[in-house]
Amino acid sequence: MFKKILIANRGEIACRVIKTARKMGILTVAVYSEADKDSLHVMLADEGVCIGPAASKESYLSIDKIIAACKQTGAEAVHPGYGFLSENAVFSRRLEEEGIKFIGPKHYSVGKMGDKIESKKLANDAKVNTIPGYADAIDTPEQAVVIAQGIGYPVMIKASAGGGGKGLRVAFDDKECFENFTSCRNEAKTAFGDDRILIEKYVLEPRHIEIQVLGDAHGNTVYLHERECSIQRRHQKVIEEAPSPFLDPATRKAMGEQAVALAKAVNYESAGTVEFVVGADKSFYFLEMNTRLQVEHPVTELITGIDLVEQMIRVAAGEKLSFTQADIKLEGWAMECRINAEDPFRGFLPSTGRLVKFQPPTETTDANGTTRVDTGVYDGGEISMFYDSMIAKLIVHAKDRSSAIDRMRDALNAFVIRGISSNIPFQAALMQHPRFHSGNFNTGFIAEEYPKGFDASMVPHDNPALLVSVAAYVYRSFTDRSASVSGQLQGHERIVGDKWSVVRLNPDGNENHLVVARPIHGGYFVEYMGENYEILSDWKLGESLFNGTCNGEPFTLQVERHKTRYSLFHWGTRADFMVMSARAAELLALMPEKVAPDLSKFLLSPMPGLLREVAVTVGQEVKAGEKLAVIEAMKMENILKAEQDCKVKKISAAAGESLMVDQVIIEFE
């Protein structure tokens, strides 16, 4: 067994590998860019080596620098994590030539199966069903359009070396094909250093189901069941679960055996994933093979009890698999939510900056299941614009799917993130969606259910009385403490009444809720709309998490105070309140509304990022829907288009410039 390994990655996956290595008694080396010098993976590792500037091409994608770090520290093996160099055959071959073990498949397997064009040819040779398409690299957007016309729209345009949704678009006509080909190629070159693009038929109403495989150097290969990854937004996975609510045992077995056959065809050693697109009739087609550990591997670990990182290390060290296919169990139901630094209420634009507060739910294993958090950040840390948007992975395991959903809802309620925006409200809404509960969904689920985007009204809350009651509790706690201050003039002490107006602040008009709130032992008793609510809690002023019971039923929500206002977060809903006397509420209703400034004549940067392109010139007449500019942030290209017909008056930012949120890019007449 290795004594020391180097992790050629950053963030959550680097921390994940360190955790297993420590359990196995193996020392770890972290490599990091200058932007990551204070990152969690650097703190957790036994050693750290700085390998260059923030840009990935000059640090995490530099093969020479990583090999030099291995030699400097005496690391015997390298775990690549996912992304970066994890599927780079040149990297794994160079390591082998230097006498350093690659904790992953051999370079010839990476080369054959990690390349989407080559892997599709191999799958055809192995008589695996594949999707119709063009399996050679495409040079120009004009050529792409001709090929797409031959296949028939819609088509999927994707980078040959791609992964994680980067360098991937769906086109429904010639115009989209032309534009998306260029964007995919640019993203692929930036993210992977390989701009080859292929095109294939896009299967309508597909499910994305993948099979986890594991092979050793002694000819043993097994599959560890499937993962359902159909809940996606812009081809990025949002929720993953295992097993799939769609597959039956016969289909699971057929897909697993086909995945194993494909892995054996290239003498696959290590953990890998064979991705399939599955039709409504349970027909399945090979999509691609990811020759690395997947982001969503924890759900497989929880249903099988097998540590995949440990198995990768053991296989790389030459050990045989210690179990056979018959030994692999499938117990309970696991689910993972990707917690990303993005604002779901602003079109999921990236959100970067300081984590003013980062308080994930407590990791637990009890009689009802498991709650697990895999992360690479910490309270007070920074989310950088240079890398991907993932903050953490929230994973749960329970006896069945319904119980897993309930456990995930509770965990999302207890996940506190402040300072930046996160997609937790969106995840909470998905956890409550009837169609998600039914298991009847496909990869188009989010686009179909949220065609105009996502807003606060789409986060259902079926117990508004709980929010009103807790708002009254919180305000009375604050008021009662203020009234208990010492040194008050005798006979003129502050007296706190029991009758209050809880004003919920809404953009389309405030709601006044009259309540009676009086203290009782361990909490407050609230009367609201003829009903009684006994709220008991040991919550203290200033705490973000409010754990308590309402009429004996336990709940968890989050509280944030903003001077005279309170924000409550529960089931993805944010509710803003002010609590005051009935007379004060009457006067508040008479206050004039502050009108927001008219910004329609400006194109503002919706996110911090790099301005890649300004597509218009001063004086140009622009039609609604035309491209205005391209911003790159978190390794993704974001195209900004005109919302209405307009004429360009002034260009205020130049290509190559780093932009702040709401910085003016273009001014219109």
Same domain, 568 and 637: no
Mean pLDDT of 214-221: 97
Q: Is 288 considered catalytic here? A: yes
Q: Tell me which DSSP letter residue 386 carries.
A: T
**pTM for the full model?**
0.82
- What letter represents residue 157's amino acid? I
Please give the angle made by the CA atoms of 643, 645 and 648, to the nearest 5 degrees.
95
pLDDT in tens, 588-628: 888 887 777 888 899 999 888 899 999 999 999 999 889 99
The answer to whether 357 and 416 are in contact (CB under 8 A) is: yes
Residue 553 sits in a domain whose CATH number is 3.30.700.30
Same domain, 169 and 213: no
Same domain, 174 and 213: no
Instruction: Please provide the average confidence, as pLDDT, over all residues in the chain.
Output: 92
Residue 594, domain member (yes or no): no
Mean pLDDT of 162-191: 88
The last residue of a domain, from among 296, 331, 366: 331
Same domain, 497 and 542: yes
* In the predicted structure, residue 162 carries a pLDDT above the cut 80: no
Residue 109, domain member (yes or no): no
Residue 517, domain member (yes or no): yes
Residue 156 sits in a domain whose CATH number is 3.30.1490.20
Separation of first and last alpha carbons in the chain: 69
Same domain, 508 and 469: yes
Same domain, 357 and 468: no
Please give the angle made by the CA atoms of 244, 249 and 251, to the nearest 5 degrees.
80
Query: Alpha-carbon distance 483 to 478, whole Å?
Result: 9
Range from 5-9, 582-586, 646-650 carrying the lowest mean pLDDT = 582-586
Q: What is the pLDDT of residue 608?
A: 87
Residue 175, domain member (yes or no): yes
The answer to whether 255 and 276 are in contact (CB under 8 A) is: yes
pLDDT in tens, 522-570: 999 999 999 999 999 999 999 999 999 999 999 999 999 988 899 999 9
pLDDT band at 585 (very low <50, low <70, confident <90, very high): confident
The last residue of a domain, from among 545, 562, 588: 588
Q: What is the pLDDT of residue 230?
A: 97
Same domain, 125 and 144: no
Same domain, 315 and 214: yes
Residue 70 sits in a domain whose CATH number is 3.40.50.20
Same domain, 120 and 232: yes
Q: Which residue has the tokens 């040779």?
A: 125
Residue 108, domain member (yes or no): no
Query: Best-predicted range by mean pLDDT among 229-238, 300-309, 645-654?
Result: 300-309
Q: What is the three-class DSSP state of 380?
A: coil
Same domain, 192 and 316: no
The last residue of a domain, from among 331, 347, 366: 331
- CB neighbours of 133 closer than 8 A, spacing ≥ 6? 120, 151, 155, 156, 198, 199, 200, 201
Q: Which two tokens stand for residue 266?
A: 């290239």
Same domain, 184 and 220: no
Residue 390 sits in a domain whose CATH number is 3.30.470.20
Counted domains in the chain:
6
Considering the candidates 12, 240, 269, 288, report the single residue annotated as catalytic: 288
Residue 455, domain member (yes or no): no
Query: Residue 668 pairs with which residues in a beta bridge?
Result: 648
Mean pLDDT of 508-530: 93
Residue 596, domain member (yes or no): no
Q: What is the pLDDT of residue 37?
A: 95
pLDDT band at 164 (very low <50, low <70, confident <90, very high): low
* In the predicted structure, residue 319 carries a pLDDT above the cut 70: yes
Query: Alpha-carbon distance 248 to 102, whole Å?
Result: 36
Q: Which two tokens stand for residue 376?
A: 């690479």
Residue 111, domain member (yes or no): no
pLDDT in tens, 69-124: 999 999 999 999 999 999 999 999 999 999 999 999 999 999 888 777 778 888 98
- Residue range(s) defining the domain that contains residue 281: 116-131+207-331
Same domain, 410 and 514: no
pLDDT in tens, 345-402: 988 988 888 999 999 999 999 999 999 999 999 999 999 888 888 999 999 999 999 9
